[in-house]
Chain A
């Protein structure tokens, strides 16, 4: 029976389900199709009875009604008892599967997940952060999740895994991926304007590839402005701030920002290094005219060196920045030709 049900749950993704990328996904799909079979049986039974009775007992002129009882206690007890047994069985399998999903193995590899409106940041045991999730295949990975602002969701359909990310507490889920590839991460708890844009990816790769990728994280050896560009890409800034002058509607562009006056609700400020440092480390204290004060907190996301590197990058995007070039050292290339990750 289990094998037959697994055939229904096409392992590569079928009519009902996305592909199964973990063993847990297989278990969940088994239960789905178990319940589905029960549903099809009962719906079919009720449909057939309804159609047959509607046809057989339709009103026909002159036909007398047949005698029928008004109640039947044996029938009542039967159709109370059988559904009760069925739902207890369903509960039991659901409960078993859930316990496996909720209790991570003690040796699971830990990735911290931080969510905010409207992006995720993943922090690895080496302290490095990324905005894309990479995990090694065939290894239990536990996600320790918290939010910086409102409740978000963390959902990976191919693993059949989901949990809300709640501010003020840690929620955990774990996975052991068995399939290589890049899969969706969706936010499932309404979190405002860009809730439907809060999408990400999980990349499942071999252990060797994962370790290599992890080593390249952080961009620690990059010069400040290049690292600032890297941080713009990976720490969520790019969700709202463009660097090419285009208007996102959510936040001011960084192009031509440095050393130009910024019109805030409480006056005008010159966007020098001090202003930029305050604007990044203490968002929204001087809300900017024409924008909602929606920048999430950066405490824990960016340390002082990170902020310094971002400021260095912002400077390179402005025509007001032309530092002297020493002989033999080429001027910094503009943002567009920075190496991408």
Chain B
């Protein structure tokens, strides 16, 4: 009754969340989780553009061993190095704090989480808006400081408060407290502010999943994306406050010379590393877990098959979140930590490999005997599986102590984390955007261009980062503005790959833009998913569900059949003898 009704209104409803209220204030003061998701999208994608531009500049600078972009006299030599050091710090800081950590939770999570629960919004809509404004404040402040540094070092343009950051995104002491440029304090405060956005999002998601699950949707009948977001939110609320305090201690050390981290005042520089990585290692699970959740959704829907091993995937997300808190010391393997600590952290580090492996095998199990459509989302998801496998396996070299010693702080590590952060997380993000684009905007993108961009990005990515494994194994240290000539061939390959990546991402952006402007109107369910967001028109109405959807197993894809006339999926005419057993279907959503 209810699904058929709202699905029959698939052609653009006159009123949806985009048209419901107009004017600047209706967006600036919106409490609608969908609009907040789009607001985040604008800023987070801008951060991606900023961080990516500097990645391309960095790679361009590294084409020759001696930073060819500046004249080679000694004064310019100093300037070139300060510029490079600001560039790599900006690239890391913007990408980590302003792009990767918020990307999937704040954009796709904000949009889809309430809808997947059949709810009208998150538990605390005002807190949601607040977390967006905190993000905007932190991001604006942080970018100003960082870009100011670039302008100063490259062009001698001095912005007020444009101090720059040259410590790397890791702010290690005592360099950051005694030698770094003055912008360090402002930069750290920018990161401090951004952390609160992350914490509040986490609080909101946990509360929403606990309290707004509809009757009949037990924990093990939630879509896996929600398990992923739940696990991510746990990390966000437990770990981010530790970073906040650490950054405040860093500022206190710099301004008040308290003596916690500065050895000349009796402090311990390695203590900072412990505090910092206690957050920053779980942070990488904040980055990857939502991506894994997206992949579970895409692989299932686009191969028309129930996810394989639901319970194991769900529990592996929680396991990763918890185990991720026990391994931070592997960032300190060569820092001078005790042999005992090194050994314990090495053993614990290997434990995180297991849940990751379990997921990859379950995704392959989902593809088995499926009916695979190579939509852009699926192409990104398949790329994810391969690149995440490489990223995860190369973690084995770094988790083993004897091999970590030569590889630590070399390009091998850079390649490893880019395989998981870009090859995996960015691929998952882009796949998720393609998967939910029709729902969010009510338009379809050109699928051929999307596929081409995905393949091009896969090729460019491997060309950029695989040579870095070899270069690192040969001894090339990281964060080097100049390098010995023997490493040049690897750098050149890497830079060419970076340009291919840039072209691919521009293609994606244009593909989305063209879809927004000229794409054909999207049906309510273009891919045939069964989670609740597909049970409402595209784009959704302001209050999400004109009629409450029925709770079902979210992977019961056989409840839908393809209707060529609308190029979308419609509920299969229920034959009492077929499809799901009565026990799988329950009453309409009530809260």
Q: Is A88 an interface residue (CB 8 A)?
A: yes
Residues of A229-252 at the interface with B, using a CB-CB cut-off of 8 Å, are: 246-250
A66 adjacent to chain B (CB < 8 Å): yes
Does residue B106 face the partner (Cβ distance < 8 Å to A)? no
A-contact 0/1 string along B314-343, CB 8 Å cutoff? 000000000000000000001110010011
In contact, A98 and B390 (Cβ under 8 angstroms): no
With both beta carbons as reference points, the residue of chain A lying nearest to B405 in the complex is identified as: A162
Report B163 CB to chain A, min CB distance, Å. Answer: 15
Known: A247-B75, A248-B74. A94 touches B179 (CB 8 A): no
A151-177 CB contact bits vs B (8 Å, 1 = yes)?
Answer: 101010100111110111101000000
Interface residues of B in 62-86 (CB under 8 A from A): 73-75, 77-79, 81-82, 85
Verify if A193 is at the interface (C-beta below 8 Å from B): yes
Question: In the complex, what residues of B have CB within 8 A of residue A192's CB?
Answer: 85, 166, 175, 179-180
Nearest A residue (CB) for B410: A188
Does A31 contact B85, Cβ atoms closer than 8 Å?
A: no
**Is A153 in contact with B477, judged by CB distance below 8 angstroms?**
yes
Residue B546 CB within 8 A of the other chain: no
The interface residues of chain A lying within 8 Å CB-to-CB of B394 are 39
List chain A residues, Cβ under 8 A from B166.
Answer: 192-193
Contact (Cβ within 8 A) B342 A190: no
The answer to whether A166 and B368 touch across the interface, beta carbons within 8 angstroms, is: no
Given A164-B336, A249-B78: A35 touches B396 (CB 8 Å cut-off): yes
Instruction: Tell me which residues across on chain B come within 8 A of A42, comparing CB atoms.
Output: 389, 393
Q: If A18-B474, A39-B396, A98-B401 touch, does A57 touch B367 (CB 8 Å cutoff)?
A: yes
- From A50, A84, A117, A157, B382 is in contact (CB under 8 Å) with A50
A91/B347 in contact, CB under 8 A: yes
Q: Is the CB of B175 within 8 A of A151?
A: yes
Measured CB to CB, the closest approach of chain B to A111, in angstroms, equals 18
Task: Assess the B402–A96 pair: CB atoms within 8 A.
Answer: yes
CB contacts (< 8 Å) of A197 on chain B: these are 482
Does A7 have its Cβ within 8 Å of any Cβ on chain B?
no
Residue interface mask B479-506, A partner, CB < 8 A = 1: 1111110000000000000000000000
Main secondary structure of the interface of A (DSSP, over half): mixed
Given A35-B400, A193-B85, check contact A161 B406 (CB 8 Å): yes
Do residues A249 and B77 form an inter-chain contact, with CB atoms below 8 A? yes
Asked if A65 is at the interface of the complex by the 8 Å CB criterion, the answer is yes
Is the CB–CB distance between B334 and A94 below 8 Å?
no
- In the complex where A91-B347, A94-B402, A168-B263 touch, is A196 in contact with B81 (Cβ < 8 A)? yes
Task: Report the separation of the CA atoms of residues A187 and B470 in the bound assembly, to the nearest whole angstrom.
Answer: 19
* Distance between Cα atoms of A18 and B487 in the complex (Å): 12
A68 touches B393 (CB 8 A): no
Query: Cβ of B371 < 8 Å from any Cβ of A?
Result: yes
| With contact pairs A50-B385, A95-B343 given, residues A195 and B480 touching in the complex (Cβ less than 8 Å) | yes
- For residue A93, CB closer than 8 A to chain B, the reply is yes
Are A87 and B353 in touch, CB under 8 angstroms? yes
| Chain B residue with the shortest CB-CB distance to A41 | B393
Stretch at the interface among A71-79, A210-218, A269-277: A71-79
Find chain B residues with CB under 8 A from A150 CB: 172, 174-175, 178-179
Q: Which of B82, B270, B402, B470 has the most CB of A within 10 A?
A: B402
Q: How far is it, in angstroms, between the C-alpha of A153 and the C-alpha of B371 when the chains are bound? A: 53
Given A65-B371, A94-B400 in contact, is the A188-B409 Cβ separation under 8 Å?
Answer: yes
Nearest residue in B to A173 (C-beta to C-beta)? B405
Convert A139-154 into 0s and 1s, putting 1 for each residue whose CB lies closer than 8 angstroms to a CB of B.
0000000000111010
Q: Point out the residues of chain A lying under 8 angstroms from B399, CB to CB.
A: 87, 90-91, 94
A186 B475 Cβ-Cβ under 8 A: yes
> Is the beta-carbon distance between B307 and A70 smaller than 8 angstroms?
yes
Q: Are B74 and A75 in contact (CB under 8 A)?
A: no
Nearest opposing residue in chain B for A15, CB measure: B470
Looking at the complex, which of B30-38, B354-362, B447-455 is the stretch in contact with chain A?
Answer: B354-362
Question: How far is it, in angstroms, between the C-alpha of A250 and the C-alpha of B371 when the chains are bound?
Answer: 65
Taking a contact as CB atoms under 8 Å apart, the answer to whether B334 and A195 are in contact is no
Shortest Cβ distance from B466 into chain A, in angstroms? 12
* Residues 13-57 of A contacting B (Cβ, < 8 Å): 15-18, 27-28, 31-32, 35-36, 38-39, 42-43, 46-47, 49-50, 53-54, 57
A221 contacts the other chain (CB 8 A)? no
Which residues of B have CB within 8 Å of A38?
A: 393, 396
A184 interfacial contact with B, CB 8 Å = yes
Say if the beta carbon of B216 comes within 8 Å of chain A.
no
Asked if A199 lies at the interface with its beta carbon under 8 angstroms from chain B, I say yes
Contact of A189 with B by CB under 8 A = yes
B367 contacts A94, CB within 8 Å? no
Do A79 and B358 contact each other (CB < 8 Å), given the known contacts A57-B370, A149-B179, A190-B479? yes
Q: Decide yes or no whether B364 CB sits under 8 A from chain A.
A: yes
- A32 x B410 contact (CB < 8 A): no
A94–B81 CB distance below 8 A: no
Q: Which residue of B lies closest to A167 (CB)?
A: B263
Bound: A190/B86 CA distance, A: 12
Q: Scoring B residues 288 to 303 as 1 if CB is less than 8 Å from chain A, else 0, what string do you get?
A: 0000000000000001
Does A163 contact B336, Cβ atoms closer than 8 Å? yes
> Residues of B contacting A325 with CB < 8 Å?
none
**Interchain CB contact (< 8 A) of A94 among B178, B305, B360, B403:** B403
Question: Nearest-CB distance from B104 to chain A (Å)?
Answer: 23
Interchain CB contact under 8 A, A91 and B350: yes
By a CB distance below 8 angstroms, the chain A residues around B81 are 193-194, 196
Q: Does B192 reach chain A (CB closer than 8 Å)?
A: no
Interchain CB contact under 8 A, B268 and A50: no
Q: Give CA–CA (A68, B370) in the complex, Å.
A: 8
With beta carbons under 8 angstroms apart, the residue of B267, B350, B364 that contacts A46 is B364
Is A190 touching B368 in the complex (CB atoms < 8 A)?
Answer: no
Contact assessment for B74 and A59 in the assembled complex, using a CB-CB cutoff below 8 Å? no
Cα–Cα, bound, A54→B347 (Å): 36
List chain A residues, Cβ under 8 A from B263.
Answer: 166-169
> Which residues, 145 to 173 on B, are CB-close (under 8 Å) to A?
166-168, 172-173
Contact: B371 with A63, CB < 8 Å? yes
Interface check B304, CB cutoff 8 A: yes
Q: Does A203 contact B (CB under 8 A)?
A: no
- Closest chain B residue to A88, Cβ basis: B350
User: B residues within 8 A CB of A94?
Assistant: 346, 399-404
B308 located at the interface, meaning its Cβ lies under 8 Å from any Cβ of chain A in the complex: yes
| Residues of chain B lying within 8 A (CB to CB) of residue A157 | 406, 474-475
For residue B311, CB closer than 8 A to chain A, the reply is yes
Q: Is the CB of B400 within 8 A of A190?
A: no
A5 to chain B, nearest CB (A): 13
B473 contacts partner chain A, Cβ-Cβ < 8 Å: yes
B408 at the interface (CB under 8 A from A): yes
Tell me the minimal C-beta distance from A113 to chain B in angstroms: 13
Given contacts A151-B174, A188-B409, contact A83 B479 (CB under 8 A): no
The answer to whether A67 has its CB under 8 Å from any CB of chain B is: yes
- B270: which of A76, A97, A166 is its contact (CB, 8 Å)? A166
Neighbouring B residues of A76 by C-beta, 8 Å? 309, 312, 358, 362
Min distance, Cβ A112 to any Cβ of chain B, angstroms: 16
A162-B385 contact, Cβ under 8 Å, with A94-B400, A153-B477, A188-B477? no
Question: Quick check: A28 and B372 within 8 Å, CB to CB?
Answer: no
26 contacts between A and B (CB under 8 A): A39-B393, A43-B389, A47-B386, A50-B382, A54-B372, A57-B372, A58-B372, A65-B369, A65-B370, A71-B309, A76-B362, A79-B358, A83-B353, A84-B354, A94-B399, A94-B400, A101-B402, A149-B174, A149-B179, A151-B172, A164-B335, A169-B336, A192-B85, A193-B82, A194-B81, A247-B75
Other CB < 8 Å A-B pairs besides A80-B354, A190-B168, 10 of them?
A: A16-B473, A32-B397, A54-B372, A68-B368, A151-B269, A163-B336, A190-B85, A192-B85, A196-B482, A246-B74
- Which 3 A-B pairs give the minimum distances between C-beta atoms? A168-B263, A97-B402, A94-B400
Residues of chain B at the chain A interface (Cβ within 8 Å): 73-75, 77-79, 81-82, 85, 166-168, 172-175, 178-180, 263-264, 267-270, 303-312, 334-336, 339, 342-343, 346-347, 350-351, 353-354, 357-358, 360-362, 364-365, 367-374, 382, 385-386, 389-390, 393-394, 396-397, 399-406, 408-410, 470, 473-475, 477-484, 555
